[in-house]
Amino acid sequence: MPSEWTFLSNYGHVLVALARDPDARMRDVAEQVGITERAVQQIVADLVEEGYVEKVKLGRRNQYRLADHRNFRHRLESEVRIEDFLTLMTGSVTSGRW
């Protein structure tokens, strides 16, 4: 039986999910990533706090914009821009980014 590990962390998965659908509900992101809604809420809060995601209130819903001009945090990937990663993962350069 193959192991369950992946190359991306849950933070990476949440970032990709929000890039694909900036209007996604936390429960939808949780389902896509395979983690709890509470875990997604904490990851999004961390990403907002660090300036990688901006949460914009639109009526009763939130929209998420991604800071694609930023680079990855780890020293091994610090030269890689979020924009390049998200373009690779989504095939798009415009969805929910600033």
What are the residue boundaries of the structural domains of the chain, listed by start? 10-90
Tens-level pLDDT at each residue, the chain (98 residues)? 678 889 999 999 999 999 999 999 999 999 999 999 999 999 999 999 999 999 999 999 999 999 989 999 999 999 999 999 999 999 876 555 55
* Model pLDDT, residue 74: 94
| Predicted local confidence at residue 65, as pLDDT | 94
What's the pTM?
Answer: 0.87
Is domain 10-90 annotated with CATH 1.10.275.10? no
Distance CA(59)–CA(57), nearest Å, equals 6
First and final C-alpha spacing in the chain? 42
